[in-house]
Structure 1
Amino acid sequence: MLGAIALQGLAAAVLAHVAWCDVRWRRIANRDVLLLAALGAAAAVLEVSPFGLDLGQALLGMALALLALLPFYLLRWMGAGDVKLAAAIGMWLGAAHAGEAWLISVLLAVAWGLGLQWARPGPAPLAVPRAAPRMPPLRQVPYGMALSLAAVAVWWLRR
């Protein structure tokens, strides 16, 4: 029980750090993603995963999250750090709950984007180009923040 609390608390702290760094610098460090994935694997191996995942289920969640978000990276709609973070979160949530986290993260990202549009002076653009050019940092949606918050929400609300 104490090991579960320690691993989950550390994972929550890593997610909070990732969210902060993504909002502040629009960067998600590989070391944070690797730490989160390693903690998820350890939780699965030690049988203290919040959803009772074994290592196979955790790896499946990781693979499905990676494959689901990879097209968005290839279209340049999302950074590689966001995709890697989603995969690490998949280790914790598994395939069943990773989809819930993705849906919540999309809603959070849309809300953030609408807030950016409403705060923007002048008329809002009517269309988004297919392969959007790089936007200035203050105009980007920090999707790692949305993913982190969504993961914690699913984690704590579904227990």
Structure 2
Amino acid sequence: DWRQRRVPNALVIAGALAALAALGLQATPLHIGWADALSACAATFVFLLLFYAAGLMGAADVKFAAALALWLGLEGMLWTWIGASLLAAVHSIGLMQMRRWTGAVRQRRREVPYAAHLATAALAWMAWASAAR
């Protein structure tokens, strides 16, 4: 996502299938259950689909977030979404400042790799949640 602003569907599907397998084996890292994982996945998909429909987010970001929600559950996905949004905001402000200082022109419609920020925030959440248990 950082370089090409793409998240391959195969990667998203593999992540979702691995999460479902971990749920089936009751071996999820954060010990969430089926109800939490599936409701988080559905809520994330529907909520972020609105951002996609408004042209603010790519389809890959929505699919990646929904697969990630299977691992994190509702609470984890909420904090991950907040963290990723803060990271994306800082990234966006940095890009705007850089363009302002250098006179560069915007190159892409979506310059901020939101899936990468989601992954970063998810790793932070998982580390924090694991340490808190």
TM > 0.5 between the two?
yes
Paired with 1:52 and 1:25, the residues of 2 have a C-alpha distance of 34
Q: 4+ runs of 1 displaced by more than 3 Å?
A: 121-124
Alignment of 1:34-45 (within 5 A): 34-45=13-24
Match of 1:17 in 2: none
Per-residue deviation at 1:143?
Answer: 0.5
State the match for 1:50 in structure 2. Answer: 29
Residue segments in structure 1 that go unaligned for 5+ positions in a row: 1-21, 125-134
TM-fit CA distance, 1:138? 8.6
Shift of 1:89: 0.6
CA distance in 2, matches of 1:74, 1:139: 14
Alignment of 1:57-96 (within 5 A): 57-96=36-75
**TM-score normalized by structure 2?**
0.89
RMSD: 1.9
Q: Which residue of 2 aligns with 1:152?
A: 123
Verify the 8 A CA contact 2:57 2:110 in the aligned structure 1: no
In 1, Cα distance between equivalents of 2:110 and 2:44:
26
Within 5 A, what are the aligned runs for 1:106-121? 106-121=85-100
- TM-score if structure 1 supplies the norm length? 0.75
- 1:19 counterpart residue number: none
Structure 2's unaligned 5+ residue stretches are: none
- 1:65–1:87 Cα contact (<8 Å) kept: yes
% identity of equivalent residues: 35
- Return the alpha-carbon distance in structure 1 between the equivalents of residues 63 and 128 of structure 2: 23
Taking structure 1 as reference, are residues 40 and 51 closer, same or farther at Cα in structure 2, changes over 3 Å only? same
